[in-house]
Structure 1
Amino acid sequence: MEVAFVDDDADLRAAVVQSLELAGLKVLACASGQEALSRLPKDYSGVVVTDIRMPGMDGLALMRALHARDPEQPVVLITGHGDIDMAVQAMHDGAFDFLSKPYQAERLLTVIRHAAMQRSLVLQNRALREELDEDGQGPALLGNSEVMINLRATLRHLAQSDVDVLVEGETGTGKEVVAMLLHRWSARAQHRFVALNCGALPETIIESELFGHEPGAFTGAQRRRVGSVEHAHQGTLFLDEIESMPMIAQVRLLRVLETRCVTPLGSNEEHPVNIRVVAASKVDLADPAQRANFRADLYYRLNVVTLRLPPLKERKEDIPMLFAHFAALAAKKYGMPQKMPDARSLTYMQTHHWPGNVRELAHFAQREVLGVPHLDIKDLDVEDLSLPARIEQFESQQIRQALARHRGDIKATLQDLRIPRKTFYDKLQRHGILRSDFVEEGAQAD
């Protein structure tokens, strides 16, 4: 956790820096606003704590300069007794919080930790937005759970190599998304991404689909066909449900992986291919019982790197974010208003085991937006909500009620709830609350 502490009082600055460092924080000490502005990078990932009254550039001017760079940079103001009104106004202008002198070290640490938590979420969301799919459909592998953060980092690292990858995961966990990211983040991104579902092809044609054929290779083969392996030359070949591949095709694929050459059906000529293979399976191929008729030598050839995708039930903390994402997409697609889940829907999402994983959740979000009732929801008891879900529900209700009482007046709502302006807007975004829904004629403008 990083913090920049700005104060022109050398003795106070040294004492606070020592206190913060003893608490495990990394501290950048600055004697003036100008020094802080020159030393802090534009994408500073930490929290800025600054005294208001300083010669030259004061704390308020420093805050405005930092917000001109990044409007979401958290700034905590230190005030003297006569600066309270000024600090309150600064809160309306975007300060994260303020402390009046004298303040206790523990209080400062608490405020810094809260600000750092917010800063971390902001930066994570920015990183996810930068990973938008090329078709604009949203962040790939969305989620802030530890397992998803680690998975995205692993994919970034693996994409730079040319190693073949085996992806294992239940239906709907995003195996094809993983394969596409490995391709898009690699040096092969300008070439083809060729996907083939091994479980969807009849045994009679899968060899032709994979390896191609020459005219006359079999009855009905009237012209030459380039198979998926050759078609993916210089790019990435994605083989989904590889555990369903017929044995004869497995033998031929093993040779392709070992020689990087393909021989079309009806031909004696080998065609060199430069491909990266990403294979996906919904069963654990390391388990002989689950592997069934899958060749062990092909498994060991594919198993250079194996990635396991977690089912949704193992990362339920990501469900609210995923639901909001899919609901927003559905609302845009069908021209419907944004949908927020009610208590029973929240209960369902937190207690359901999601056998269809992310794909099932996406379909659930679409039905919620369309107003199609889910048969399993009507019988749920709202009291089955987990404690975090109840807290989220209560907080959302309190904010909505306060906005309704004050007809959308932000200043009056903030005074009612007694929370910082920045925190208030973060909660509006998290709960999907629109101030405009509560504004009546005569309400004070934001």
Structure 2
Amino acid sequence: MTEAKTVYFIDDEELLRIAGQQTLELAGIDCVCFDRAEAALEQIAPDFEGVIVTDLRMPGMGGVALLHAVLQKDPQIPVILVTGHGDIELAVAMMRDGAYDFIEKPYEPERLIDTVRRALAMRRLTLENRQLRSQVKSALRAHDRFRGFSGAMDRMRKQISETAATDANVLIVGETGTGKGLAAQALHGDSPRAGNPFIAINCAALPADGIESELFGHEAGAHAGALRTRIGRFEHARRGTLFLDEIDSLPMATQGKLLSAVENKTIQRLGSHDPIDLDVRFVAASKTNLEEAVANGTFRGDLLYRLNVVTLQMPTLAARREDIPILFLTFVGQVADRYDLPAPHVPGATLDAIAAREWPGNARELRNAAERFVLGLPEGSDTQNAPSASLSDRMSDHERALIAASLTAHEGRLKDTYEALGISRKALYEKMTRYGLDKSSFADPAS
């Protein structure tokens, strides 16, 4: 990124504007002058690469109103206030509200140049950090879709990475909200098939009277209403990955046709006897125990054994409680981006409370809570699951989650963490060692 050099200089007095512009341009700093704050504000966007120097008192919109309007657009744009002697107390108060600095009239040219240069340097670093954060986020979305540093997630990432490189069929099992669809996308995205289609089918949402046409397609005239040939979802997935979510919802007759497709890698459209080669990888998901479904006669055992060449068990949030704070912060950032809102600060006490809660809906429920937090909506009812672990285990889990939450809130800074927790440095080290917590896992990746 090129060095930020633009200054918007705002003053209703023409002689002061001319003097300020000449001073800055002689120092090699680009300067654009405005006689009204309103005109300057129209030109300022969140990606503005410069700083603002504005008189405090002007007709119409004054410096205070301009400061607040600019910070609404981007709270990190440096605003330098030019004040008279009687406004120093107000200028100091405005610095508490977010102003970068103030200069008292009459000022020496060197004072203006020095203040502007420091502000430009800070703006450049701010924009560079944002760019790095954006790159890191993109990398995380592409290669590290599952946030968290728990042992459960380390094992999950390793298993997905190893399995993605093969062409084995995969069965993903886990409770609602544990990220089964995300795991399927990761298997596809990290596989040699990544450049080809990823077709996701929710088997529970398929129309009961047209399920086979939807999956396998049909020829014109195959049945009433089949006016033209239809290509099924399986054909659309050729050379890619076919993800069958809630596969336990498929009727037994359709399970038989699916078994044939998995075994023979061919399908036939309804109304046709011509086989169609099916080069796909099958990934299925279920929140129910399919082995029990086989025992109950509601799922075919031979289909299960064709699909579960590799089985991925998605961990619940209860099994990775230390990941809850970083997941919540990630969701807050994603929700803020979606609504084009600034990401709100999440106090450490809030993270502590979130880490201590039960989340029966897992990551999906946690994401909903993050959305309510960003939008400023009241928190929903906290449905608690009856804990099954011993009191000692629950207390250890709770303590580990609280320490992880505080480390997350303080980006791995140990001094801030043990002071916030009210314990000694030695005690924090001992507890981190006991719970397998590494401060580097909590550091801001863009810092």
Q: TM-score when scaled to structure 2?
A: 0.55
Q: 1: CA distance between counterparts of 2:351 and 2:403?
A: 12
State the match for 2:167 in structure 1. Answer: 162
Q: 2: CA distance between counterparts of 1:390 and 1:253?
A: 47
Q: 1: CA distance between counterparts of 2:324 and 2:406?
A: 18
Q: 2: CA distance between counterparts of 1:394 and 1:210?
A: 49
- Which residue of 180, 203, 209 maps to 2:208? 203
Alignment of 1:15-30 (within 5 A): none
Q: 1: CA distance between counterparts of 2:344 and 2:181?
A: 28
Q: 1: CA distance between counterparts of 2:136 and 2:184?
A: 18
State the match for 1:278 in structure 2. Answer: 283
Write out per-residue CA displacement over residues 46-96 of structure 1, whole angstroms, 9 at most, x where no aligned residue: xxxxxxxxxxxxxxxxxxxxxxxxxxxxxxxxxxxxxxxxxxxxxxxxxxx
Are residues 1:185 and 2:193 paired?
A: no
State the match for 2:267 in structure 1. Answer: 262
1:131, distance to aligned residue in structure 2 (A): 4.4
Contact in 2 for aligned 1:284/1:291 (Cα 8 Å): no
1:386, distance to aligned residue in structure 2 (A): 4.0
Q: Which letter does structure 1 place at the counterpart of 2:140?
A: L
1:248, distance to aligned residue in structure 2 (A): 1.1
Write out per-residue CA displacement over residues 325-347 of structure 1, whole angstroms, 9 at most, x where no aligned residue: 11111222224333344476445
Q: 2: CA distance between counterparts of 1:224 and 1:393?
A: 56
Are residues 1:132 and 2:140 paired?
A: yes
- Shift of the 162–126 alpha-carbon distance from structure 1 to 2, 3 Å rule, reads farther
State the match for 1:250 in structure 2. Answer: 255
Q: 2: CA distance between counterparts of 1:327 and 1:290?
A: 43
Unaligned runs of 5+ residues in structure 1 are: 1-124, 404-425, 433-446
Question: Greater CA deviation, 240-249 or 347-356?
Answer: 347-356
- Which residue of 359, 363, 380 maps to 1:354? 359
- Which residue of 133, 143, 148 maps to 1:143? 148
Q: 2: CA distance between counterparts of 1:346 and 1:394?
A: 8
Q: Which letter does structure 2 place at the counterpart of 1:165?
A: V
1:153, distance to aligned residue in structure 2 (A): 1.2
Contact in 2 for aligned 1:213/1:224 (Cα 8 Å): yes
Q: 1: CA distance between counterparts of 2:320 and 2:169?
A: 27
Contact in 2 for aligned 1:326/1:365 (Cα 8 Å): yes
1:202, distance to aligned residue in structure 2 (A): 2.1
State the match for 2:225 in structure 1. Answer: 220
Write out per-residue CA displacement over residues 368-415 of structure 1, whole angstroms, 9 at most, x where no aligned residue: 1111111437x9xxxx99445666788869x99x99xxxxxxxxxxxx
Q: 2: CA distance between counterparts of 1:247 and 1:393?
A: 47
Bigger CA radius of gyration: 2
- Shift of the 131–249 alpha-carbon distance from structure 1 to 2, 3 Å rule, reads farther
- Shift of the 323–394 alpha-carbon distance from structure 1 to 2, 3 Å rule, reads closer
Q: TM-score when scaled to structure 1?
A: 0.55
Q: 1: CA distance between counterparts of 2:214 and 2:198?
A: 15
Q: 1: CA distance between counterparts of 2:163 and 2:405?
A: 40
Aligned length in residues: 278
Contact in 2 for aligned 1:213/1:226 (Cα 8 Å): yes
- Shift of the 127–143 alpha-carbon distance from structure 1 to 2, 3 Å rule, reads farther
